[in-house]
Structure 1
Amino acid sequence: MKKLLYSERILDDLARYSSLESEPVRLLFREWHPIRKSEEFRCFIKDRKLAGISQYHYAGFDECWHENVPLAFAEIYGRQEERKATISAFIEEKVIPHLHVDDLVVDLWIDQRVTLIEINPYGLSDPCLFTYQELENCLGEFRCVQRPKMVL
């Protein structure tokens, strides 16, 4: 319980949710698993449709390991379409049919399978590599950190 109270992210979320009168606050606790930065994605659902998928960790990467490519991107590079297809299928089959709201943000972990990490309010969560204005007109777009230009 102490670890929960030391998390700024958790305290911020609880403060926001506690002001919602339409739904009671529900907490679900799971076993902790370390997640590699390249395996976490944020998905934006708008009007019950997948608007966008973003690499969750888009700033402050680990040191570059090859040709000045951020490690979190290097592990996704060449697999963008595969990741997009996996995430899109999961959202369409496992998330959207069970929604009781039209707009939300979902964080996912992709390892051997797709795991739902958490659900966040749409418009209040970090839009990662999007802006909320862009998401109004997107339909399933996938964004990840791009290869930086080489500076000589």
Structure 2
Amino acid sequence: MSVVNNDDIFPPLTPDYILAFQFSNWYPSFIRASPKSTIIRPLGKDFKHYLESDSIFVPDGSEDVVVESTISDDDDDDDEYEDTAIVGEHFSFPELDERIRSVIREYKAVFPKLNFSSPKDASWVLPASSPLKCTSPVDVYLLLKSSDFIAHDLSIESVFDGCKIDDLPDYELELVLRKWYPVDHSREVRCFVRNDVLVGYATGISQRDTNFYDFMINPEVQNTIKTTVYNLWQEIVRPNWTFSRKDYIFDFLLTRDLSSGHIIDFNPYAPRTDPLLFAYEELHEVLSRANQGASASRTFLPDLRVIDSLLHPAATRNMPAYQHNRMPIEALTLSEDRNIVEFGEIWQEEVIRAMREKDD
């Protein structure tokens, strides 16, 4: 593979380009092709401060039983272990609580995200049988508070990282509540578009979940997926992508019969977006070849790259997703058969006990 300049591989990053991928900016154009969602804004500085504060706790009043986030004042022996971030701060968002409850009543259950990022790495917080399924405000807050991923959206510097400009635009945090439903990750694909070309004229559609699925190696199945994705891009994505820059990456969830699907998200064509089973240098070479023979290449469907065996190098990721973000096994053991209030109290006691043992 020849060495090429990064400026050739990626479009230049500007604030306007990055903001095109903010949920509230792209969703209105694709509302009929994407899961039903509600955008809540403005959120206020206190909500951002809550997400940035230390420790995992929920705002007062967000559930029927208020979670105490302070150590008992009667226990003088524990004073040295008190964390001022926990003891000194209380948060309450009654209007936001009611707004979230209203959306949940309409959708039955929701999956939250912020402007760009979703808390997929915090799936351990809620039951594994219905991952990321929120049925109350406290579920929403706990997912967001437990996630490392959403930290990207809280800092204007990280949002516009890589943009060569000193004057950053106004940026307002938003909470997105998407209608929750079970997702079969084997039917998720990621598609790359550069200069208004679905790079997959030669290659460029990647299986999104890097587990091995035997049905994906069937040639007929692959051809169906390629046809569906190509038609979706031509008929829905391409004409409705209204931003001036035609460089983007979109994630697509296929229906069970693989004949249609839903647009899940759009991401910038930039190093921050995982190319999955590709390298960006590889995609650049493919695009160059496609441009050189554009008319001929347009007669071909895009290729699909998948995990084609258990021995595939990428299949070594076949382990619990985001395991480095997960809670220690001791916490999982303590949480069994307990509600969030009981778990919070017991986990806090365990932390204090461990700190005492360390000092002894």
Normalised-by-shorter TM-score class: 0.7 to 0.9
Instruction: Please tell me whether residue 48 in structure 1 is matched to residue 196 in structure 2.
Output: yes
Gaps of 5+ in 2: 1-139, 288-301, 312-360
Amino acid at match of 2:248: L
Amino acid at match of 2:180: W
**Residue equivalent to 2:281:** 133
Contact 2:206 2:276 in 1 (8 A): yes
Structure 2: distance between partners of 1:87 and 1:110: 9
Amino acid at match of 2:306: C
Contact 1:5 1:11 in 2 (8 A): no
Instruction: Please tell me whether residue 102 in structure 1 is matched to residue 250 in structure 2.
Output: no
Match of 2:222 among 60, 64, 80: 80
Partner-residue secondary structure (3-state), 2:276? coil
- TM (normalized to structure 2)? 0.34
Amino acid at match of 2:308: Q
Structure 2: distance between partners of 1:76 and 1:22: 43
Partner-residue secondary structure (3-state), 2:177? coil
Structure 2: distance between partners of 1:138 and 1:23: 37
The worse-fitting range, judged by mean Cα deviation, of 132-141 and 80-89 is 132-141
**Residue equivalent to 1:93:** 235
**Residue equivalent to 1:4:** 144
The worse-fitting range, judged by mean Cα deviation, of 135-144 and 98-107 is 135-144
Post-superposition CA distance 1:115-139 (Å, at most 9, x none): 0111111122000011111111336
The Cα RMSD (Å) is 2.5
Post-superposition CA distance 1:17-36 (Å, at most 9, x none): 36674685666431122212
The alpha-carbon deviation at position 92 of structure 1 amounts to 1.5
The alpha-carbon deviation at position 37 of structure 1 amounts to 2.2
Amino acid at match of 1:116: I
- TM (normalized to structure 1)? 0.75
Aligned pair in 2 of structure 1 residues 8, 146: CA closer, same or farther (>3 Å)?
same
Structure 2: distance between partners of 1:127 and 1:102: 17
Contact 1:107 1:116 in 2 (8 A): yes
**Residue equivalent to 1:146:** 308
Aligned pair in 2 of structure 1 residues 116, 48: CA closer, same or farther (>3 Å)?
same
**Residue equivalent to 2:77:** none
Aligned pair in 2 of structure 1 residues 53, 27: CA closer, same or farther (>3 Å)?
farther
* Structure number having the greater helix percentage: 2
The worse-fitting range, judged by mean Cα deviation, of 81-90 and 130-139 is 130-139
Structure 1: distance between partners of 2:277 and 2:170: 29
**Residue equivalent to 1:120:** 267
Structure 1: distance between partners of 2:154 and 2:262: 22
Contact 1:109 1:117 in 2 (8 A): yes
Structure 1: distance between partners of 2:159 and 2:234: 26
Structure of greater Rg: 2
Gaps of 5+ in 1: 62-69
The alpha-carbon deviation at position 13 of structure 1 amounts to 5.2
Contact 2:216 2:308 in 1 (8 A): no
Number of residue equivalences = 137
Match of 1:31 among 179, 186, 193: 179
Q: Equivalent pairs: percent with the same residue?
A: 29
Partner-residue secondary structure (3-state), 1:82? helix
Structure 1: distance between partners of 2:285 and 2:178: 35
